[in-house]
Amino acid sequence: MGMVSAAKELGINLPCVMQNDYSLINRRIEENGMSEASCLYDVGFMAYNVLAGGMLTGKYGLSSENDALPPPSVDDPDQKRAQITASKPRGRMDSRGWGLTLQRYRTPAARRAAQQYFALAEQYKLSSPTELALRFPASRDAVTTSLIGHTSIEQLDSSVQAFRTAAKSELPTQLKWDIDRVHLQNRLPLFALDDAGSDWYNEGLIGERIP
């Protein structure tokens, strides 16, 4: 890491922590060596957006239990329903400013991956998709802590319970393998715009696909 080398040359304290986006649908730090570097230099890693802006909680639909929920208001073609949703936002995806900024968590590839993770949470009888989304980073050696935010006390209670469960037991080994299988279908779903037209440059496929 360049910062570590620079700090050593200057004779100043080494960096002690770094912060980056990390979640079930964004494991880029495992691809670019950042997680290994943080362990090697004993630098803590603070993961943010572990719930992918709320998309991994299921509160915006996509799972079998809540298909009837409206999509994020910024994506909803039903303008009247979108206005009603935005008047009582479930989280950042129902806010126009944040919703447009966090579009990367709603690419078609990211949505497909989220649906598969929701199915795994149901298959392994976890309490909710949120539990899987929070317990996954908690299970990774490179992650020191997860930074999370909440819109309601109920959401906070759900997160606290997930972390308590994570402290008591590991995710099942087979579930970890199944998570990796979903991951390998598209290792960068946040950057995969495969819904673009075939006449678009490079056919719109930005994410790296693994058979």
Q: Which whole-number Å values give the CA distances from 167 to 32, 51, 136, 170, in the listed order?
A: 28, 18, 12, 8
Find the domain containing 192 and state its range.
15-56+104-204
Question: How many Å apart are CA 77 and CA 80, to the nearest integer?
Answer: 9
The pLDDT of residue 26 is 95
* Residue 74 resides in a domain: no
Q: Give pLDDT tens digits for 68-125.
A: 788 888 888 889 998 998 998 888 888 888 888 888 898 889 999 999 999 999 999 9
Residue 147: give its domain's CATH number: 3.20.20.100
Question: How many Å apart are CA 130 and CA 169, to the nearest integer?
Answer: 16
Q: What is the pLDDT along the chain (211 residues), one digit of tens a residue?
A: 678 888 888 989 888 888 999 999 999 988 888 888 787 888 889 999 999 999 999 888 765 555 678 888 888 888 999 899 899 888 888 888 888 888 889 888 999 999 999 999 999 999 999 999 999 999 998 899 999 888 788 888 888 888 888 888 899 999 999 999 999 988 889 887 665 555 555 443 444 444 3
**What total of structural domains would you count in the chain?**
1
CA atoms within 13 A on the CB side of 173: 0
The pTM score is: 0.83
* Residue 90 resides in a domain: no
* Residue 143 resides in a domain: yes
* Residue 133 resides in a domain: yes
First to last CA, the chain: 32
Question: How many Å apart are CA 4 and CA 113, to the nearest integer?
Answer: 35
* Residue 95 resides in a domain: no
Structure tokens at 50: 């572990």
In 3D space, the residue among 10, 51, 59 whose CA is nearest the CA of residue 162 turns out to be: 51
* Residue 29 resides in a domain: yes
* Residue 96 resides in a domain: no
The pLDDT of residue 199 is 56
User: Coil, strand or helix: which one is 186?
Assistant: strand
* Residue 76 resides in a domain: no
Tokens 């329903």 belong to 81
